[in-house]
Structure 1
Amino acid sequence: MAIEERRFETQEQVALALAEAVAKDLRTGLTRQAAASLAVCARPDLFAFFAALRTQPLDWSRVEIALTDECWVPPSSEQSCERVLRRHLIRDEVLDARLVGLWTNDPKPIQASPEIAERLTRMTRPYDAVVLDVGEDGRVAGLFPGMPGLAAMLNPNWAVPAAPARDPDEDVDRITMTLRALLDSRRIYLFPTGEGPRAAYARAIEAKNASPVRALLAQNRTPVTVMLCDA
């Protein structure tokens, strides 16, 4: 496992350090090609990171940002990850960035999979950075333990970039990047915030389960930096 752990005393320090690291990755990407790319989840644990990232000096007009997963609701819905990202990241200095959303007008995510795959294929790849939180159950992105089709989605050689998903605790369909799509990046940042997510990360490191976060950590294709804070 190509894992680097970074430890901090406060959540504010984590957010700033993560923002600085991701901005550096994106600036490096812009020296290599016309555009840089970032994939992020849109959950409350990352709101402080989004705020810090907005202040980083960067040519946002040349940055592409994709969601790692999305609820199957229109962007006007309070459940929409795209709505959350536009509220907390795609604003102020970041308004010129290109957001690649994962929702379409199709009734179900399975019907939208070809279009979503095309959207992601058109992005600059590999991603310069991917930022993920961790669920208490070992979830990453929209890859939830026990959901139908999970084994295929966690196969690092499965060619499908995005697939239907479902949180057992939510009455809403989702779509998520598969493990292979997440690994198509130069670096992944993992942010297990809170006692439950930290415990899930610890169990994955100790190989005590077969959770999605374990699959992410067990691969040796893409380096993973874990941002840890006990606060």
Structure 2
Amino acid sequence: MTKPAFHAYPTREALAEALSAGVAAVLAGAIATRGSATLAVSGGSTPKLFLEHLARAEIDWAQVEIMLVDERWVPETSDRSNHAMVRRHLMNGPASAAHLLPFYTGHETPDAAIEELELRYCRLTRPFDAVILGMGSDGHTASFFPGADNLDALLRSDGNDAVAAVRAPGANEPRITLTLPLLVDARLLALHIEGEEKRAVYERALSGDDASQMPVRAVLRAPRPQPINVFWAP
């Protein structure tokens, strides 16, 4: 395993500034090289400040395709919608010119939408330019939850599926997620965590190798040419 590069910041504001600057640089480089860029971001409350800083970056956002790492199977009108959160906090100012790709299709279940979503995500240029992950206190990342009904398949490094439906005890509703191979081959792969509790969870994840108990271990241990970057602030 390549040891993660751990970046500690004194404040969450400083972390948001550094992470947004790094992501903006990667996206700008991709646009300069091939004319477009791809970015996958996480939901929840932790990324909000980072997204607000990133929204102000002066890059050619019209050439950027943004997607979620995972999503709760709820419409955008729900206060549980990660898509709605990203739209509120990122799709403002310069970043409003970007294209935000939704997960939710209106199907009754995420399983019923898999074929449509596979076509949508398989057309994207790989590897993604930047993927920003979060982590729960149970050691989940994306929608890779301990106890998920299909966790073994989700964590297969040689899987061919781009997306997967997930049901797990730790999730309040069915979910849809990008799969492990799609995430870990990103040019910039970052894990964004905040607070002493999350740092302790991260340290526990590093000290063991059972991904069924702490699925984030599958990400931390995935072979990569460049190490995963961990961004933390108290």
Q: TM-score range by the shorter chain?
A: over 0.9
Partner of residue 126, structure 2: 125
Partner of residue 217, structure 1: 220
In structure 2, C-alpha distance between the alignment counterparts of 1:31 and 1:170, rounded to whole Å: 39
Alpha-carbon offset, residue 204 of structure 1: 1.2
Check the 8 A contact 2:149/2:168 in 1, yes or no: no
Deviation per CA, 1:152-191, whole angstroms, max 9, x where unpaired?
A: 1001111111111135244311101111111231121101
In structure 2, C-alpha distance between the alignment counterparts of 1:13 and 1:22, rounded to whole Å: 14
In structure 1, C-alpha distance between the alignment counterparts of 2:218 and 2:105, rounded to whole Å: 29
Check the 8 A contact 2:141/2:216 in 1, yes or no: yes
The 5-angstrom pairing of residues 26-105 of structure 1 reads: 26-105=27-106
Alignment partner of 2:46: what SS? Answer: helix
Partner of residue 228, structure 1: 232
Alignment partner of 1:192: what SS? Answer: strand
Deviation per CA, 1:48-85, whole angstroms, max 9, x where unpaired?
A: 10111011111100000010111111111111111111
Unmatched runs of 5 consecutive residues or more in structure 1: none
In structure 2, C-alpha distance between the alignment counterparts of 1:130 and 1:208, rounded to whole Å: 22
TM-score normalised to structure 2 length: 0.94
Check the 8 A contact 1:126/1:186 in 2, yes or no: yes
Partner of residue 186, structure 1: 187
In structure 1, C-alpha distance between the alignment counterparts of 2:171 and 2:69, rounded to whole Å: 18
In structure 2, C-alpha distance between the alignment counterparts of 1:114 and 1:183, rounded to whole Å: 22
Amino acid in structure 2 at the alignment position of 1:146 = G
Unmatched runs of 5 consecutive residues or more in structure 2: none
In structure 2, C-alpha distance between the alignment counterparts of 1:193 and 1:199, rounded to whole Å: 10
Partner of residue 173, structure 2: 172
Check the 8 A contact 2:65/2:100 in 1, yes or no: yes
Deviation per CA, 1:91-131, whole angstroms, max 9, x where unpaired?
A: 22211101111111211111111111111122232111000
In structure 2, C-alpha distance between the alignment counterparts of 1:217 and 1:140, rounded to whole Å: 11
Partner of residue 115, structure 1: 116
In structure 2, C-alpha distance between the alignment counterparts of 1:221 and 1:116, rounded to whole Å: 26
Amino acid in structure 2 at the alignment position of 1:45 = T
In structure 1, C-alpha distance between the alignment counterparts of 2:96 and 2:9, rounded to whole Å: 30
In structure 2, C-alpha distance between the alignment counterparts of 1:208 and 1:153, rounded to whole Å: 16
Give the share of equivalent positions with the same residue, in percent.
37
Check the 8 A contact 1:133/1:193 in 2, yes or no: no
